[in-house]
Structure 1
Amino acid sequence: MEKQFNLIPNKTILKYLLIIQFLLLGGSLLLFQSYKNENPLKLRKKNHTIEIKRLTDIADIYFDTNKKDSAIYFFNKAKKLCDPKINTIDYVYALSCIAELQLEQGNYIACEANATEALPYLKYIKNPRYSWIIYNILGNNYANNYDNSNAILYLKKALALKSSAWRKYITLNNLAAIYMDEKKYKDAMDIFNILASQKNISKYDAINHNNYSFVINNLGFCHYKLGNSKKALNYFYEALKIRLKPETQEGLITTYKYLSIFFEKTNPHLSREYAKKAYVHALKIDNAIDKIETLGLLIKHSEGHELKQHTLSYLKLVDSITIARQTAKNQFTNIQYNSKKDKEENLKLKTQKAENKLQLERQKERIIIAYIIIVFILGLVGFQYFHFKGKGKKEKDEAVFKSELRISKKLNDELANDVYQTMAFAENRDLKLIENKEHLLNNLENIYLRTRNISKENSKITTDNNYVSALKEMIAEFKTPKINILLNGFDGVFWDKVEKNKKIILYRVLQELFLNMKKHSQATLVSITFKIKEKNIVVTYNDNGTGISKNDLILKNGLQNVENRIKTINGTVIFDLDYEKGFKLSFTLPL
């Protein structure tokens, strides 16, 4: 909407004036702090080691009994008490356990945040065990997010460590599992065959049996995918035999799932029974991701009421895990912010309390000076406020008028004739005939869709936590069976750090480009790439449409709007007129 951009220059001027004034205000307040250079007080840091270990022991008990939320709660309490430079091992251990639990819950965003928070402190720990744990968690987390390149990177880092044989065994199994996801079954089998020959890598039989069951289960699936059904079934049954024992049931769900897939075509009844067993075990261990996957298998083999019941359960689980991930993400952000804020505020309060007596005499003169400066600044702010308010109101009214005029023109150009034709059709045709009725309904639906599109193009844009979803939804609306849209680097941008007006401009610019593409370019493939470069967001748009010449570039209002919008935030626009295979444009938004 034009009114959102015409006010930007005035707001920018006001913003810079306010910054200058608050700098003056800050300078006056700094006069109160100069006395701190004399007689500084040394504060002793309290040793929380005993309490940290007590909280960690409680968290470990909840961890071992699969009470994930309670375990995360106590690990977070222990982490807050840790000084990373003193309690480095306890700090990294708490972060690794929290990340592992969040990985099991499917909360991949929080898992990555906690695991990466531990990375800078690994170099201070001699025991490679903790580095292996963090690298392995990150590898599995990226694999679950379909980011196989990063997953392989961290798993190879784990392999490079001087760790025990069974840790290398687990890492190789996870690496081979990624090759399976990439459909590189022969590469995966090469690793699994080596691992299958090494059954006794640990001094504990339960660990050996558990690790071996993972390997042969995956090896069976590779054989199944490569067409060797007999070997695949033998490996599945061997893995099942091990995993039915109480001490080695960790991967039982996966074995049931593979058996269900194996018998899907040859024995549907048996396939359904294994899917049921997988779902029952998923309910037993209360793992949301496993429940969703096993319900997906059950839905394939269900009919009637049972199909409806499984489908409703599946949708409910998907909704709940989506909400849980977002809630956990928000809670994680709040915990980080509040923890840091509490520490800083407590330190300031302690320092101020110890030095208040030294301040009193020196504050008297400084308070008088500060009051004079504050009164001056407030008066200046008041003057500027009323001045820009009046000027802004006038410009806002003009912007609203232009916007209404533009919308009115668009409605007249795009819908008036269709509405008239539809009314004439309804008056002159017999609507009792099915073909006439269907023709009328199709016309009405077309008018409705075009009206809705015009409404969306001029509606308010959300700039809060829902901005990313709104932007993706807008882009997705232009995707059709004939138009494919690729987004690269979108999730690498920290959208919460982008200013609101820049979010709005980015949204409108992309909307303008897509509208221009849809009307003029006849493109079938569109690519948008986001990069962070020198405190700028660099966005590159290109499509394989008909392209555009220099003369056409000047004439198109849509592209002129794009350039005008970017310039309002001191951004730059580059039109690549030498792009031979379509249309290409790059623009930057300062962060």
Structure 2
Amino acid sequence: MCVFLTTNAQITKNLESVDSIQKQLKLLKTNDSLEIAGKYFQIGEIYRKSLLGDSAYHYLRKAEKLFKAYNSKYESAMALYGIAVSQTYDKDYTGSELTSTEARAILNELPPTNNVNMYKAYIFNNLGIVYDELEQFEESINYYEKSLQLKRSLEGDFERSIGLTLNNLLKVYRRAGKYNLAIEKFNEIVANKNLIKNYPDVYVLALGNYAYTLYQSKNHEQLPGLYLKALKISDSIGGRYNSIILHQHLAEFYNDLNKKDSAKYYGYKAKALSEEFNNDDLLKSLRILSKIETGEVAANHLRNYVVLNDSLQKIERARRDKFARIRFETKQIEQENIRINKERMWLLIITIVIIITSFLLYLIILQRNKNKELQFAQKQQASNEEIYNLMLSQNESIEEARTLEKKRISEELHDGVLGRLFGTRLSLDSLNMNNTEQAIKTRSQYINELKAIEEDIRKVSHELNTDFVSGAGFIDIIKTLVETQTSVYNLKYKLLHDDTINWDAVANKNKIHIYRIIQETLHNIHKHANALFVKISFKLKNNVICLTLEDNGNGFDVDKAKSGIGLKNMTSRIKDIKGKLNITSTKNKGTTVTIEVPIA
């Protein structure tokens, strides 16, 4: 942001002017409200130019209230512009945008005189700065162009102001990476010899931005010459603040070339100068030195940077909150005054209308809630029927699998084991009357074959006694649900279940509600938690089914969320099956939903 800061000595001089104006204020009478407003405006402008945002905001807001009370629109717009610029300095960009828009709306109601257009141009320039800081570069460029167009149409000497806006455009093009356009704006500035001659401070800004554009675009042929030229001009005109930025850029440039001595010289020079002005530049100087230095020295600069950065953020946050609170309180007071002025005339009518409207709304809401309850009951019934049919279909699939498995084992017994038994029996019969050594050896082999057949029979018997569809049924339905939803929601999952749970003993209604609760919980995890993983587990404790769902998402405030439809539905389902529901959640750690449902 291109601003011109004042030194401590200049601020002290400005504050002396404030004391003088405040003495004049004490001599004014209360009926001289417009003159009082003018004095407040003068004090606010002095504070604004001294970058004392809180005080500027306070006095400019007081001036704006008085101007508005007397319908002095132009003066109100002037005060609002000063407030907007103060907010920009204090990084309250949203507030500055709102205030600028309010001032612009007032000016649009006035005839387009030279002064009105002048303040419009200033407001556009401020909006350009705001959007530049927010990195909305196209919007920033648009407002800078509007500001330039108006400034060039104004009567009077606005050469310096035009040069500053051109420099702002140069800067935003550079930040947007449009280096060719930035260079075009620089050439437009240097083409104006009168501007360079009469306002060397503007030329220094443009030269510094142009040099930095070349640096960022990797075109170093004219560097560091341009930086040094800008620094020389800045020193000749006493532009100590602008020289801070030039020293910072030189430090970065020499550090890139690994010329540490030069980098340190300009880095420490920037730090020393920035300590005379505002903390933002000191912050940047510390960050640059932390990159240039090494070891403990670099670490010390980095620590100072972190401490100062935290402090600045707290101050900026406090200022934004204060500005927002003042805006809110101002609007609130204005609305309250309007309400009081109208209340006496319209009190009776408004009361009657409110009573009738409230009664009608009550009837509508009551009827709507009844309709919703009915629709919900119908949807729930349809969903329960759908799940029940799914369970029946799953059971049919299981029975079909059992039949196929029994057929396979029967064929294996008939074609395999029995055939081998028959062949072995015939072979042994042929050897009954033969006692030769070879016959004895052969009988031994067939006996071993009988042992192998015995093992095969034992294996088949074991398979028959083993429930080959263990874990099937309701758990398979749950697994299908979890696999389907986690795939859609891009969630990883882990499903654990206790084989001792006899799902056939659990009522269908209970299983349907458990299914729906899991479905609702997975939906809530996807919609609200931003989780990557969910763990679902079933355990049996004292004839009670314990279902736990854990995610690693954002977490939430359970007390605030109890009024949500999803939690209400889950609570209703748990109540219907005489179960228990417990939800625990920790911010940024995740949520655990625990459900207890009795089997009987």
In structure 2, the partner of 1:331 is 322
1:107-157 alpha-carbon deviations (Å, 9 max, x no partner)? 322222222222212332522221111111111111121111001100110
SS in 2 for 1:285: coil
CA distance in 2, matches of 1:371, 1:145: 44
1:310-369 alpha-carbon deviations (Å, 9 max, x no partner)? 22333334444444444444433332332122123234445668x89xx9xxx8x999x9
Partner residue of 1:282 out of 253, 274, 287: 274
Which residues of 2 match residues 486-505 of structure 1 at below 5 A? none
C-alpha contact 1:236 1:259 (8 A) present in aligned 2: yes
Partner residue of 1:184 out of 178, 181, 186: 178
In structure 2, the partner of 1:76 is 61
Cα displacement (A) at 1:54: 1.4
1:525-582 alpha-carbon deviations (Å, 9 max, x no partner)? xxxxxxxxxxxxxxxxxxxxxxxxxxxxxxxxxxxxxxxxxxxxxxxxxxxxxxxxxx
Cα displacement (A) at 1:202: 8.9
Partner residue of 1:171 out of 146, 159, 165: 165
Partner residue of 1:272 out of 225, 249, 264: 264
CA distance in 1, matches of 2:169, 2:327: 32
Cα displacement (A) at 1:52: 1.5
1:209-266 alpha-carbon deviations (Å, 9 max, x no partner)? 2111112222223344455545332221121123235742342222112111221124
In structure 2, the partner of 1:262 is 253
C-alpha contact 2:241 2:277 (8 A) present in aligned 1: no
The runs of 5 or more residues in structure 1 that have no matched partner are 1-45, 395-404, 420-447, 468-499, 505-591
Matched, 1:455 2:446: no
CA distance in 2, matches of 1:157, 1:366: 46
Specify the code of the residue in structure 2 equivalent to 1:170.
L
Specify the code of the residue in structure 2 equivalent to 1:146.
E
CA distance in 2, matches of 1:137, 1:199: 26
C-alpha contact 1:84 1:91 (8 A) present in aligned 2: no
CA distance in 2, matches of 1:156, 1:323: 34
Matched, 1:55 2:40: yes
Change (3 A) 1:406 1:111: farther
Cα displacement (A) at 1:456: 4.4
Rg comparison, structure with higher value: 2
CA distance in 2, matches of 1:47, 1:64: 26
SS in 2 for 1:146: coil
SS in 2 for 1:201: helix
Partner residue of 1:148 out of 125, 137, 151: 137
Change (3 A) 1:216 1:51: same
In structure 1, the partner of 2:104 is 119
State TM-score, norm by structure 1: 0.53
Cα displacement (A) at 1:61: 2.2
CA distance in 1, matches of 2:350, 2:132: 60
CA distance in 2, matches of 1:463, 1:323: 30
Change (3 A) 1:57 1:242: same
In structure 2, the partner of 1:470 is none
SS in 1 for 2:177: coil
The runs of 5 or more residues in structure 2 that have no matched partner are 1-30, 378-476, 487-491, 499-530, 536-548, 568-600
Change (3 A) 1:370 1:99: closer
CA distance in 2, matches of 1:202, 1:305: 45
In structure 2, the partner of 1:100 is 85
C-alpha contact 2:493 2:534 (8 A) present in aligned 1: no
Change (3 A) 1:91 1:255: same
1:163-193 alpha-carbon deviations (Å, 9 max, x no partner)? 3222222111111222222333333223213
Partner residue of 1:66 out of 51, 56, 61: 51
CA distance in 2, matches of 1:172, 1:371: 57
CA distance in 2, matches of 1:82, 1:406: 70
In structure 2, the partner of 1:311 is 302
CA distance in 2, matches of 1:114, 1:63: 15
SS in 1 for 2:195: coil
C-alpha contact 2:231 2:246 (8 A) present in aligned 1: yes
Q: State, as a whole percentage, how many aligned pairs show the same letter.
A: 23
CA distance in 2, matches of 1:168, 1:291: 29
C-alpha contact 1:84 1:121 (8 A) present in aligned 2: no
CA distance in 2, matches of 1:503, 1:219: 58
Change (3 A) 1:252 1:103: farther
C-alpha contact 1:48 1:81 (8 A) present in aligned 2: yes
C-alpha contact 2:271 2:282 (8 A) present in aligned 1: yes
Specify the code of the residue in structure 2 equivalent to 1:213.
V
Partner residue of 1:292 out of 283, 299, 312: 283
In structure 2, the partner of 1:136 is 125
In structure 2, the partner of 1:574 is none
State TM-score, norm by structure 2: 0.52
CA distance in 2, matches of 1:462, 1:209: 63
- Larger RCO (CA under 8 A, 6+ residues apart): 1
Change (3 A) 1:449 1:272: farther
Change (3 A) 1:231 1:372: closer
Specify the code of the residue in structure 2 equivalent to 1:183.
G
Matched, 1:159 2:131: no
C-alpha contact 1:299 1:310 (8 A) present in aligned 2: yes
Specify the code of the residue in structure 2 equivalent to 1:269.
D
C-alpha contact 1:240 1:252 (8 A) present in aligned 2: yes
In structure 1, the partner of 2:337 is 346
CA distance in 2, matches of 1:308, 1:87: 56
